[in-house]
Amino acid sequence: MTAAECRPGELPPIPRHVAVRPLLPVVATLVVIAAGWCGLRWGGLSGPLAVGFVGGPLAMAVTAVAAHRAATDAAQAQPAQRFWRAIRLAASLVVVAITGWAVTVAVDPPPAGRVSDLPPWAAVPLVGALVVILGAVLRLPRPARSRGQWVQLILDGATILLGAALFFWHFTLSPVLSTGLGPAAVATAFICVASLLGLTAVSKALIAATAPIGTVALRLLGLSLLIAVAAPAAMLMLGERGRLVAAVVAVPAAALTTSAAAASAQRAARRPSTRSSTGVGRRTYSLLPYAALAAAGSLLIAVTFGELTSSGRVVVVGAVLVTAAVVARQLVGLRDNARLLRSVRQHQARLEYQANHDALTQLANRTMFNATLAELLAAGEAAAVLLIDLDDFKTVNDTLGHAVGDEMLVAVADRLRLATDPGDLAARLGGDEFAVLVRGADPARADTVAMQILAGLAAPVTASGHQLLVQASIGVAPAGPGDGSNEVLRNADIAMYATKEGGKASWTRFAPEMRQEIIEHVRLGGQLHEALECGQLYLQYQPIIDLDTRRLVAAEALVRWRHPEQGVISPGQFIPVAERTGQIVPLGRWVLGEACRQLAAWRDEYGSAAPWTIGVNVAARQLREPGFADDVASVLREVGLAPHQLVIEVTESSVLNARQVLHTLHALHDLGVKLALDDFGTRQSSLGLLRAFPVDILKLDKSFVDGIEDGDDDERLAVAAAVVQMAAALRLDAVAEGIESVEQVRRLRLLGYRLGQGFHLARPLSAEGVAALFLGPGLSLTGSETTPHS
């Protein structure tokens, strides 16, 4: 099961080759075997003592493997990986020491009924292992603290160390010193001291509560060090049975708790944090120093009670009780302060969460996303940004309402969580725009995540009973050396728009040349604004011809741009720029006014010889403007045209599932303006549009005219015939677009088409050229070139 397939509440899986948990039963079995062997030995079992030492090196070797797996687990933070590398080294040193001890026992067995002392040379790798652990704990990340907080932390650690040292002195070193110290006893004492220092360091880390390996793992490691303190102390204090348990069972037991710590650290690395950076849920003080103080007080009473007079005993007990009362009072005060501070932190955590998360989807918001990306880039880590924009989401809001749109956004957010890995960050940047921050240097992984997101969105979303198909355009931008967060986001935005221009519902990886295209678009957009202001735009008119009478009956206005330096710029270059920048609205308003004024001028000068109607192409962006119908009515009144003399041409894609667009079209229809459906037949929903769309004219797309002249293309002929028959049945006009040969004219006339336009009939002309055409006797439709009929 992959991370994307986890159900809510489940932890992401740990890869098998780095999982520590399968090793725990092996170590636990070795602990049971060692304990059982000790029991049998107590019961009188004879045999080589070295056999009992075998479990220690084996268990610690498995622990070294467990630490290695934790150190190579990609989910672990770098400080945690460094920590487990140190534990791997420490475990290896213990294996060397215990193996050497076992070999010594095998070569030189002790007398029957006795346990061999620890060889002095074996203490060197053991103390080295404890020093390595001590260094690893001290190298764990430390939070920023004030001088007073550092003093408090040091005092707490010193209190714990002194309390433990008092017990160690009284019960271990003092009795041994009184009987004399041999080399083995000195070595054992060094191990105790090193273990105490390591235990103190772990206690300080627990008080600080900042270890990246997790608090549970740190406690288990502290238990391992406690075993390391108790085992040599037992060897110094207790009889042969205690020495036997300490020598044979202590190492496998410490191995078990250390391996369990590694397994806990792996789970902690994959568990979503339930605490904020404010530390909500953590006790603000530690009980460990007070436990050390209580233990020292109890030891004081136990040591001095029998040596003092009754008056002295009262004083000692009273002093201890006064100390205990002060400690209890301080603990009560600390608890009250902690409760108040916890309440403040909870409130702070709620505010922090609200500031960094989107209220609707509960994903990270733009602020958190930008901050996380900036931190990664500042640290030199590799990453990639996926910018996700839902295709035609505005249609859902316009047709079904914002409540349904919000449900759809929440569903999309849930699918983003499932499609991304735990280490990645999914965010809603605003509106219908989402983003995913993918960690790692592998470019293929970002591409894989993009494909997973598209696959996750493939199934329809249910929102308020509606089954909605969700499609998205994704731009993928890897972060290169020296890139800033704004630059990476801009690159992803460029790639996302490239996806939209390429057909939507896909993904595109950013390439440097895309940036140049955008720069060119921006430059062209600025020049287009200047062109509108300086009169660089002009209109040409595509005649629409009656195929029977060969007379011009209408014209379609086409905008052109004559740049003072670049010459004539193709509409295919500047119209997409106008749509992207929003300049299509003022541009369309200018075209509408100029076209209507030209038709009015023709009608005034030439009367009935002039074209009957003028057609103007209108973009979806214009139709979404609430006052568009009023603007059209105002222009018609201004130039003195009747509404039916204007034809508004729209494409099928611009009117699909758009409430405001349909509202505008109905308003234009009610005004009396004729509506033409351009490029008809290129969408699957063409027939359904005829019911919702108040259409007057169907314009057969050029793709169905190409290739029909020889009569062999049955599919195109069938569509062309169906469109003209449908228009006749619905009492609509049908216009064939893109006519380029006389054979196409003949075929279209046989199918029933009366109106057509195309280069064979007439190329786009100036106003004067159109006037010459409609004043002439008509067109010759039998040749390959457009000539007046003589």
Q: How many residues does the chain have?
A: 790
Q: Please tell me the predicted confidence (pLDDT) of residue 647.
A: 96
Angle (nearest 5°) at CA 536 between 530 and 540: 135
Torsion of CA 531, 536, 537, 541, to 10 degrees: -170
Q: For 270-280, what is each residue's pLDDT tens digit? A: 765 444 344 44
> Do the beta carbons of residue 244 and residue 41 sit within 8 Å?
yes
CB-based burial of residue 422 (10 Å sphere; 0-12 exposed, 13-18 middle, 19+ buried)?
middle
| Residue 500, both tokens | 């939209």
- Phi and psi of 192, rounded to 5°? -60, -45
Beta strands in 317-442 (DSSP E): 383-390, 425-430, 433-439
H helices within 420-511, ranges in order? 443-456, 485-501
Sheet-wide strand order for 433-439: 425-430, 433-439, 383-390, 472-478, 507-509
DSSP label of 273: P
> Do the beta carbons of residue 717 and residue 708 sit within 8 Å?
yes
- Give the residue ranges of the chain where pLDDT is below 70: 1-12, 42-52, 105-118, 120, 122, 142-211, 229, 231-243, 271-334, 441, 481, 656-659, 681-689, 691-692, 777-790
3-state secondary structure of 462: strand
Q: Please tell me the predicted confidence (pLDDT) of residue 75.
A: 79
Q: Which amino acid is at 378?
A: A
> Do the beta carbons of residue 20 and residue 468 sit within 8 Å?
no
CB-based burial of residue 500 (10 Å sphere; 0-12 exposed, 13-18 middle, 19+ buried)?
middle
Residue 613 β-bridge partners: 554
Torsion of CA 515, 520, 526, 528, to 10 degrees: -140
Conformation bin of residue 184: beta by default, left when phi > 0, alpha when psi is -120 to 50: alpha
Count of helix runs (H) and strand runs (E) in the chain: 28, 16
